Amino acid sequence: MAASSSAILSVLSSTPNVISSEKVKLGSCNFNSLLWQGKQPSFMRTKSLSKVTMSVATNVSRFESITMAPPDPILGVSEAFKADTHEMKLNLGVGAYRTEDLQPYVLKVVKKAENLMLESGENKEYLPIEGLVAFNKATAELLFGADNPVIQQQRVATVQGLSGTGSLRLAAALIERYFPGAKVLISSPTWGNHKNIFNDAKVPWSEYRYYDPKTVGLDFDGMLSDIKAAPEGSFVLLHGCAHNPTGIDPTPEQWVKIADAIEEKKHIPFFDVAYQGFASGSLDEDASSVRLFASRGLELLVAQSYSKNLGLYAERIGAINVLCSSADAATRVKSQLKRLARPMYSNPPVHGARIVANVVGNPTLFNEWKEEMEMMAGRIKSVRQKLYDSICAKDKSGKDWSYILKQIGMFSFTGLNKAQSDNMTDKWHVYMTKDGRISLAGLSSAKCEYLADAIVDSFYNVS
């Protein structure tokens, strides 16, 4: 009968004069096959006066040189918040809408759209590379207006993307391939992922002045100066509404001057529209900046997201739109966007696209959606007002906090520095990004006074 591996090991342990220069394999198949044939493994036949030496293979990872990545500055806030057990803790880091009870909210109109999808028995076949046709039509019309000449003349190339981030990334790939060396101008500050997107796409970027810490407002003169000083033909990344992270938007008059400067330098406007309808409560008002540039005959890019205004965070539904000077150019641009998308993710998911198409394409659901957006935007405006009132009631120094009311959308730039923001978290259990941004969507009216205490304390007692 063949000897077992354990028996061989027993022999090895009691035989001090055996040495092997080979790496020992302990698989029973190797030993058993040799002994069954009446053979002795080579390492047992080798004689030496030395003690037993066993060579053990060491597995060194091929990925040993890969270091640990730093935590995401926004998503990392949520992880720290979850670990905190304090009863008054607040998560004001992630830009996600919450109810007055600080619970996630699924829009009623979304549930109705999903029920319609179930009733119609939609299949799960692959979408075309460019996405759902009905979605692409609806989203372009929502952005520019259904009666806009650019829609009627078929001058907009629209491709469904993986929400705002994926749409921006696809546009960045288009810039890298067909505008080699062109620079993207990004506001200072901006959404934290913008720079990552262009870095990974190998598209050079630089910043233009936007935020004025002295006034906690817009540095409009600096913005215009930097746009005019940029190399001709640069891409200028603009937040269509509800600037993230500051909540500071140009006035309608300032938008006209920005368009003048961009047109004068033959730059290409590149809008990021993540909050249409969610900022002011009006879809048309929040798209007015994009429509202004389109009315000037400018070619431009627009990335869209439905994470906020329809609460479809997990569905990853958005689009990249390229407004061209002709229908022929739009057809060619769309073909290349599809070519870029194919090796990235092949084609986009269908569920969120059908929700949007059903809501926008159904007059009843569309009107219900507008009502819900007004409700969500109204709740954020309400807590913004109450926070301002609470701070003013507690701060008797005469400091002007009115910039909180002048900001728009779900975010507010508090004007707190990193040390003061750290105090907000360490002492008051208020979780926020270190640039002083807070998400008012994560604040309830009941906690406005608590947050006001934290802000006043941090502002005056931490340098």
Token pair belonging to 161 = 């993307």
Active site (annotated) includes residue 272: yes
Active site (annotated) includes residue 369: no
Q: How far is 249 from 227, CA to CA, in rounded Å?
A: 16
Active site (annotated) includes residue 308: yes
DSSP for 12-68 reads: HHT-TTB--SSBP---HHHHHHHHHTT---HHHH-B-SSPP--B------TTTTPPP
97: amino acid identity, one letter: Y
Neighbouring CB atoms inside 10 A of 355's CB total 26
Residues 6+ apart with CB under 8 A from 307: 163, 164, 274, 313, 317, 318
Q: Answer yes or no: are the C-beta atoms of 420 and 459 closer than 8 Å.
A: yes
Positive/negative CA dihedral, 125, 131, 134, 135: positive
Token pair belonging to 326 = 């002709």
Q: Answer yes or no: are the C-beta atoms of 267 and 304 closer than 8 Å.
A: no
Q: Answer yes or no: are the C-beta atoms of 317 and 355 closer than 8 Å.
A: yes
Placement of tokens 């900022």 in the chain? 279
Catalytic residue among 191, 369, 401, 428: 191
Report DSSP state, residue 304: E
**How far lies 349's CA from each of 122, 124, 130, 247, 369, in Å?**
13, 9, 11, 31, 22
| Measured CA angle at 25 (ends 21, 30), to 5 deg | 115
Catalytic residue among 272, 369, 401, 447: 272
Q: How far is 341 from 450, CA to CA, in rounded Å?
A: 47
C-alpha torsion angle, residues 342, 345, 348, 351 (rounded to 10): 160
Catalytic residue among 112, 205, 286, 308: 308
- Active-site residues: which are they? 191, 272, 308
